[in-house]
Amino acid sequence: MSAKPIVVVTGLGVVSPLGLGWEAFWRALLEGRNAAAPITHFDATGYSTRFAAEVRDFDPAEYVGKKEARRMDRCIQFGVAAARMALEDSGLQVGEANAHRIGVSIGSGIGGMQTFENQHTTLSTAGPGRISPFFIPMMIPNMPAGQVGIQFGLKGPNFSTVSACATGAHCLAAGVDMIRMGRADVVLAGGTEAAVTPLAVAGFCSMKAMSTRNEDPLRASRPFDRERDGFVIGEGAGVLVLESLTSALARGARIYGEVAGHGSSADAYHITQPDPSGDGAARAMWMALADAGMPLDEVDYVNAHGTSTPVGDPCEVAALHRVFGEHARKLVVSSTKSMMGHTLGAAGALESIVCVLATREGMVPPTINYEFPDPQCDLDFVPNVARSMPVRAALNNSFGFGGQNAVVAIRRYDSAPG
């Protein structure tokens, strides 16, 4: 059986609460900056949680025409903007000769929530005749991928995977498989979300899933800390240009790193809570390591799902102990959600970008707000200050409601030009 094609990363695009573009995003993470602040998108008076990590200073007209932007939900705008950044960063030229060999795998966990809410208000106040003809194509969660294909003329396989907070990671996995199976040479893969909206935030409040530290939002997201009380909702998008190594070398592309493997599993346990034993998460990690041909001791860093929920964080730690055994004590584990919040369907993509940059730059972002150790969470969480260290390989963990788990394995590419 022939060896699997090597899949590398040749472009990065980021829209995040910490900044636009991967350089600003990465710099903010290493500095330990926090994007949590009172909600400005709507009046959150009366909500049990009144803060979020919002994307600021984002003008969609910089990435797509004003007329087109008006026909896109905010989550689609984010996805198109991140895709444009990634494509430009890659230096890839799209034309008739290669368009059919460039695929798209970009998903959203929730889709066009703001459009949905706005149009429901229109229906309630003005009747069905006033609903926009663009309502459905602005709302459905496959449309970030569809619009990226339309905007850039990409004619290869094009679809989205929806698996809640595992969406971005599952989309990367799908992109890797497209290339491995020979169906594409290049895939724009990632996730996007814009769910800081009245109804979505109210729903999470009702679940009691989010932190209620309204008087001190900067200290609210505190993964693995004993005083954690829930996640901070965020928004944004991350897109990676995945490319076969053969294609990347042929065009002299800058290579950031290798997406070496991926794994996915189901807890089959509960609609929102993870399996307390960590079994499902552990199986996804084992699958990713096996797919990558990656021994346990090659992994230096894990970008944890680490949402800062009382139940979820210890389950992930249990899973890491299950997988890595004694090597777990040598791992460094951090949750960048402590700074950018939980970006839901975009999280797996943005955090895989963190892993790619950690291997390339030899730096690991911290887990900020780590003050009070929890006996159930007993690993090295890179507390509060970034760490300079060589990172040969990294895992990104993403776990979604419904018990859907996705893990991406990233390996340093030592021959990268540039």
Active site residues: 165, 305, 342
Structural tokens at position 329: 């004590």
- Count, residues in the chain: 418
* Closest to 331 in 3D by CA, of 343, 344, 317: 317
- Round to whole Å and give the CA distance between 239 and 344: 14
**Segment holding 287, helix H or strand E:** helix 279-292
Structural tokens at position 83: 């895709």
- Round to whole Å and give the CA distance between 61 and 70: 9
Please, which residues have CB within 8 angstroms of residue 303's CB and are 6 or more apart in sequence?
Answer: 334, 335, 336, 351, 352, 354, 355, 358, 394, 395, 396, 397
DSSP state string for 70-99: HTS-HHHHHHHHHHHHHHHHHTPPP-TTTG
Burial class, 41, CB count within 10 angstroms (exposed 0-12 / middle 13-18 / buried 19+): middle
In eight-state DSSP terms, residue 4 is P
In terms of DSSP bridges, do strands 186-193 and 393-400 run parallel, antiparallel, or are they unpaired?
unpaired
- Cα angle for residues 78, 75, 403 (degrees, 5° grid): 115
